[in-house]
Amino acid sequence: MTDPDGYGSHVDAETAAATGWFEPLYADAGHGRAVVPWDAGGPSPYLTEWARAAGLDGKGAPALVVGCGLGDDAAYVAGLGFSVTAFDISPTAVEQARERFPDSAVRFEVADLFDLPAAWRQAYDLVIEIFTVQALPIALRPRVTGAIASTVAPGGTLLVVQRTRPEGATVDGGPPYPVSRSELDLFLADGLRLEQLEQLPDDRGGRWRAEFRR
């Protein structure tokens, strides 16, 4: 369905196919039949290290966590004083996040990145995007980055963490579909500017950690 205010993207067969595997994965993981490969058992170290270095103090400012999964990053950001909304397309993931953090003030919601609520447009002073982009096919990258960038408020910050891919390199199989340097610039299409970019080494070819600002 297209949002009546023109904000949500049309959820067509291509996007439905690209996101349809998340719910079965979380459901199977909940029954011990699968493992969620990006679940670190706690907040992302790429997030916590960045937050400590920045001295983040939310003071009640609105924050959004994209593809929140089991909720660790969202709970961490709420602990920094932000008023957090966190969403995932998987109802099972959202249910499990609520169960894991019953005393948290985080608003865990089921939502589709390709059909976001109109009220979320440029509504968040801090947006956290870790590994969602790389989980979706490269052909959808402009739509994915545009949807995420559109949630950042004027003066707000977007933190992006993704697996790196050398410029021009092809992807055999996937997900994940690692992100090239030029693909990071797709976040600039919605009026954001790049404030800081780090290429962090690891045993899987490295990670981008990028900070954007509107």
Is-contact 110 86, C-beta < 8 A?
A: no
Domain range list for the chain: 13-213
Residues 6+ apart with CB under 8 A from 28: 34
Task: Convert the pLDDT of each residue in 15-33 to its tens digit.
Answer: 888 888 788 788 887 788 8
Q: What is the pLDDT of residues 63-109, one digit of tens each?
A: 999 999 999 999 999 999 999 999 999 999 999 999 999 999 999 99
Q: What is the pTM of this model?
A: 0.92
Number of C-beta neighbours around residue 72 at 10 A: 20
Rounded to whole angstroms, the Cα distance separating 121 from 151 reads: 5
Tell me which amino acid residue 181 is.
R
Q: Which residue has the tokens 């595997």?
A: 21
- Architecture of the domain spanning 13-213: 3-Layer(aba) Sandwich (3.40)
Under the banding of pLDDT at 50, 70 and 90, the label for residue 205 is confident
Task: In whole angstroms, give the CA distance from residue 80 to residue 44.
Answer: 14
